[in-house]
Structure 1
């Protein structure tokens, strides 16, 4: 999934240096809004930090996969929801100092629950937060995931959060 590269670069002053960075295939994140206005979240254990995090549904883009198709797939697999309406919100770059990863952000509305189909080894707790509760969770440190915070920045003003 990830590849680490090391490039020799010429600096603005003409000097030489090395730059290491991670190449990533990209990902999507989905702000899924239920009919009552609440947002779908998941609590997921993240091994690198050895703890669980509150996040919006998200996942890696497969080679050659369209970003909207990826968002539709990830929302369905992880939460069991399908959306009748999709809106592209933009792109974010979470780790510009050491990765080329881009995360494409989407808003999904008019949801229908059809049942999840988690990947092997994936264990998620699906939660719902009202917009004001999601905002409070960012401000009090319960949500620290950058893709989730950035996406909430785009959608909370629309939802009254």
Structure 2
């Protein structure tokens, strides 16, 4: 059965600083027509920065749409013409001050498939060294390092609950246990 929905007409409804909202008229698999409203996102990276003594670099920051602080893994959006790995390296350094000598791609997730085309590319960073960080204007966050076992425990009690971090931590565990293809 072909479940593909075909675009008949597409309209830009809103264009912000980095998000765009579109409304498309589509043809459904049965031939009838419908509408889809969705967000275009430039893509993002997320970094699991692990120290030699199995401490994970985390960030505590206020997230305006949710109206609260979150403890989460470092992440950020891709700039135009920037590679995923270059973005991961830049975001880790800018937000935390850490750089890494070893980078491993863990995978790509689609966090909001019902209303956005966002993709998050996950990297494991090891061989960490720290220097001064370079936060963007208007960016406020606290860098925290916690034992990996404690971070995992916080996902189970709901203290760490953003989907980006949950996916990354799941893949990090699988990688460290040798359950992912290409795991070391």
**TM-score normalised by L of structure 1:** 0.96
Of Structure 1 and Structure 2, the greater helix share is in: 1
Deviation at 1:11? 1.1
Determine helix, strand or coil for the equivalent of 1:48: coil
Write the deviation string for residues 6-34 of structure 1: whole angstroms up to 9, x where unpaired. 11111122111100000000000000001
Residue of structure 1 aligned with 2:36, choices 19, 28, 40: 19
Residue of structure 2 aligned with 1:77, choices 75, 81, 94: 94
Q: Does the aligned pair in 2 maintain the 1:131–1:156 contact within 8 Å? A: no
Determine helix, strand or coil for the equivalent of 2:65: helix
Alignment partners' CA distance in 1, 2:65 and 2:160:
17
Deviation at 1:132? 1.1
Alignment partners' CA distance in 2, 1:16 and 1:119:
44
Alignment partners' CA distance in 2, 1:96 and 1:62:
21
Alignment partners' CA distance in 1, 2:49 and 2:22:
35
Alignment partners' CA distance in 1, 2:146 and 2:113:
29
Aligned to 1:156: 173
Aligned to 1:96: 113
Determine helix, strand or coil for the equivalent of 2:116: coil
Q: Which runs of 5+ in 2 are unaligned?
A: 1-17, 178-184
Alignment partners' CA distance in 2, 1:120 and 1:52:
19
Alignment of 1:112-123 (within 5 A): 112-123=129-140
Which structure has the larger Rg over C-alpha atoms? Answer: 2
Determine helix, strand or coil for the equivalent of 1:136: helix
Report the count of equivalent residues. Answer: 159
Alignment partners' CA distance in 2, 1:124 and 1:96:
28
Highest relative contact order (Cα 8 Å, sep 6+), 1 or 2? Answer: 1
Alignment partners' CA distance in 1, 2:130 and 2:72:
19
Aligned to 2:47: 30
Alignment partners' CA distance in 1, 2:85 and 2:152:
26
Write the deviation string for residues 33-71 of structure 1: whole angstroms up to 9, x where unpaired. 012111000001000011011110000000110110000
